[in-house]
Structure 1
Amino acid sequence: MKFGQISGLFSFLIYVTVNATDCQDRWVAFEGSCYLFGHDLIHFTEAEEYCRHHSAHLVQVETKAENMFLRDFLRDFKLADYWIGMTDETVEGVWKWYSNNEDVEYFDWGPTEPQNVNNEDCAVFGDTLDYQWADVKCATDRKALCEISTGNVDIIG
């Protein structure tokens, strides 16, 4: 192999990049976001406060791929519901993201959900629904699921 060919190969290796998500310890990465799964049972606004303490917000599920990733991950935790960062507290049946008040466009409700029994204005990944979504009262205790968007970071090497 000639020096020019080796030099070209070396240059190629240096400039090859891959997309990765830069997450802190205990956070789980998926497509430009990092997720933190809480351990304590807390109500909805406490969960949002917990997430903000970690510079994040309650999870905003925006695609089927993201939803399936989270559902698969949650199956390993069994026997717990996890908050989703949306509410229909202002107008019944109009779901908004709690952190920015934007309309929710993707849903994965369980077969009989949402029910709105006794003003169920918040949403969870329901463990008894194989982590499809359910509406629940905001003052009930569930676990926080936080999300922070990191974008993609180029790693050179």
Structure 2
Amino acid sequence: EENEEIIYTSVRFSQTPLPRTSAAREKRAPCLWPEVVPGLAIGFGILSISLAIALIWKISNSQPRCPEQWVAYRGSCYSFSRQKKDWRSSRLSCGTQGAHLLVISDTWEMELFKSIQPECFWIGLRNSTGSGWIWEDGSIFDGTNILSNSPVQRCAVLMKDHFQASSCEFAAPWICEKSLR
């Protein structure tokens, strides 16, 4: 019969590192990781904040906006004058701001202006000899009749709920319109 013998061995490692040669120590770079970590964290933090600010600034500047004191509505900007001028001067005033007198292009726009303006305003609608009423953008007015009581009334104002013909020399406030930029 064969006897099996079990042998146990115990291995102990020393806690003290073995001495290295001076040449091996010189080749190894000193560990700078603990000194580098805070600096890297601060640097990445500043970089992240800078990129976030730049992205927010770019997004906010790329969105179309109306100039100050103008009202935005459905892709257009509107300015309501406080001064009163004749129709031609009102038209020129809008032009100097990169705009034109209001052109009402649909019922939504008409309903908006009916609800917000208490008095009459010059709009971009004028009676052209032989062509009838034409908007500033060249389109022909195809709405209801414009109230007129004189052949010299060739320009239109927007009243509370209708268009009214007026002498182009009448002094009134005006509404400018331009596209969102």
* TM-score bucket of the superposed structures, by smaller chain: 0.5 to 0.7
Q: Which has the higher contact order (CA 8 A, sep 6+)?
A: 1
| Overall identity of the aligned pairs, in % | 24
Query: Judging changes above 3 Å, is the alpha-carbon distance between structure 1 residues 146 and 101 closer, same or farther for their aligned structure 2 residues?
Result: same
Q: State how 1:106-125 maps to structure 2 within 5 Å.
A: 107=143, 113-125=146-158
TM-score computed with the length of structure 1 as normaliser: 0.68
Higher helix fraction (1 or 2): 2
Find the counterpart in structure 1 of residue 165 from structure 2. 135
After superposition, the CA RMSD in angstroms is: 2.0
TM-score computed with the length of structure 2 as normaliser: 0.59
Structure ID, larger Rg: 2
Find the counterpart in structure 2 of residue 104 from structure 1. 141
State the AA in 2 paired with 1:104: F
Find the counterpart in structure 2 of residue 58 from structure 1. 101
Query: Judging changes above 3 Å, is the alpha-carbon distance between structure 1 residues 137 and 70 closer, same or farther for their aligned structure 2 residues?
Result: same
Find the counterpart in structure 2 of residue 8 from structure 1. none
Find the counterpart in structure 2 of residue 84 from structure 1. 123
SS in 2 for 1:39: coil
Structure 2 residue ranges without an equivalent (≥5): 1-62
Per-residue deviation, 1:131: 3.7
Query: Judging changes above 3 Å, is the alpha-carbon distance between structure 1 residues 118 and 64 closer, same or farther for their aligned structure 2 residues?
Result: same
State the AA in 2 paired with 1:61: I
Per-residue deviation, 1:81: 1.4
Structure 1 residue ranges without an equivalent (≥5): 1-19, 152-157
Per-residue deviation, 1:108: 5.5
SS in 2 for 1:51: helix
State the AA in 2 paired with 1:42: K
Aligned length: 119
Deviations 1:2-31 (A, max 9, x none): xxxxxxxxxxxxxxxxxx862111101111
Q: Distance in 1 between matches of 2:106 and 2:86?
A: 25
